[in-house]
């Protein structure tokens, strides 16, 4: 292919500068710090609580976005109604909106004296400054990834396949379960992985609504920032390496599921 050497060289250079070099610097910092010291930093109740909170709520938010993102993409593609384009444009707001602005807006809405928070406060339900508030923030920033990943696949999906399924006597639920969902599975898993990755590293939209109470509502990215502000770069790198390993493992499993799904569809 003409220009392959030049384009490949530029690609590898950009990938190295933007991805490999920062990750390599992080791993090098951890290597100089030592595995024993890394374990000493990570093996603390506060660190484990922050890591567990971040990954647990990120996974729950990504699963929520997977389900409702599929539904939203389906509605936007398959139906025509007043305000559809407005809703379609609003899906991209979390992409364009600064995360700090999103966090402030969510806090203003769900604080005990906020528009929605004041409705739940008499019932004894508190949203802001709890793990529920963190979950809402992660859902907000992750939903567009699922919608925008699944939407093009739905738009190009041949409806004749659904009609053929119906003519063979399959119910709508059977057609959805045996025909449509398997075709959407690779794109849906991609959107899930993107939403999960965004949620794990999210900082700006969470710290305002989280309350940031150690062992309760403190996320792992905030703990890294605290270590950096205390000039404890080794501890920050240690927590970052653990997050990197866990994230890489989760994304690897999701990619393997994608490969298995594509092969299964191809065999069918």
Site of tokens 């997977």: 66
pLDDT in tens, 69-91: 999 999 999 889 898 999 999 99
First to last CA, the chain: 34
Residue carrying structure tokens 């309350």: 211
Q: Residue 147 CA to chain centroid, in angstroms?
A: 12
pLDDT tens for each residue of 9-24: 888 898 888 888 888 8
Ordered per-residue pLDDT tens for the chain, 268 residues: 667 778 888 888 988 888 888 888 888 888 888 888 899 989 999 999 999 999 999 999 999 999 999 999 999 998 898 989 999 999 998 888 888 898 999 999 999 888 898 888 888 888 999 999 999 999 999 999 999 999 998 888 877 777 787 787 877 888 888 888 888 888 899 999 999 999 998 998 899 998 888 999 999 999 999 999 999 999 999 999 999 999 889 888 888 887 877 777 665 5
pTM comes to: 0.88
Contact 138, 200 (CB under 8 A): no
Angle at 9 between CA 8 and CA 15, to 5 degrees: 85
What is residue 158's predicted lDDT score, i.e. its pLDDT?
77
For 36, the token pair is 């024993």
């Amino acid at each position: 292919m003409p220009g392959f050497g030049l384009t490949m060289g530029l690609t590898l250079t950009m990938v190295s500068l933007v991805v490999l070099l920062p990750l390599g610097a992080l791993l090098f910092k951890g290597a100089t710090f030592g595995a024993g010291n890394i374990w000493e930093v990570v093996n603390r109740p506060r660190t484990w609580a922050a890591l567990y909170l971040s990954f647990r709520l990120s996974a729950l938010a990504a699963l929520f976005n997977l389900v409702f993102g599929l539904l939203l993409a389906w509605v936007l593609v398959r139906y025509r109604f007043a305000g559809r384009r407005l809703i379609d444009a609003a899906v991209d707001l979390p992409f364009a909106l600064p995360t700090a602005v999103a966090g402030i807006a969510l806090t203003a809405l769900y604080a005990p004296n906020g528009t929605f928070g004041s409705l739940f406060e008499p019932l004894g339900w508190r949203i802001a400054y709890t793990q529920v508030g963190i979950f809402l923030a992660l859902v907000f920033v992750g939903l567009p990834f699922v919608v925008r990943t699944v939407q093009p696949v739905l738009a190009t999906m041949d409806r004749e396949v659904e009609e053929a399924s119906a003519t063979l006597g399959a119910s709508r639920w059977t057609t959805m379960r045996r025909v449509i969902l398997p075709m959407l599975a690779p794109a849906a898993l991609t959107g899930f992985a993107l939403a999960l990755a965004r949620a794990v590293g999210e900082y700006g939209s969470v710290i305002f609504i989280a309350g940031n109470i150690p062992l309760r509502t403190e996320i792992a990215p905030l703990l890294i920032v605290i270590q950096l502000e205390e000039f404890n770069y080794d501890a920050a790198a240690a927590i970052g390496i653990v997050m990197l390993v866990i994230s890489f493992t989760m994304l690897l499993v999701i990619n393997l599921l994608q490969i298995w799904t594509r092969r299964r569809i191809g065999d069918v």
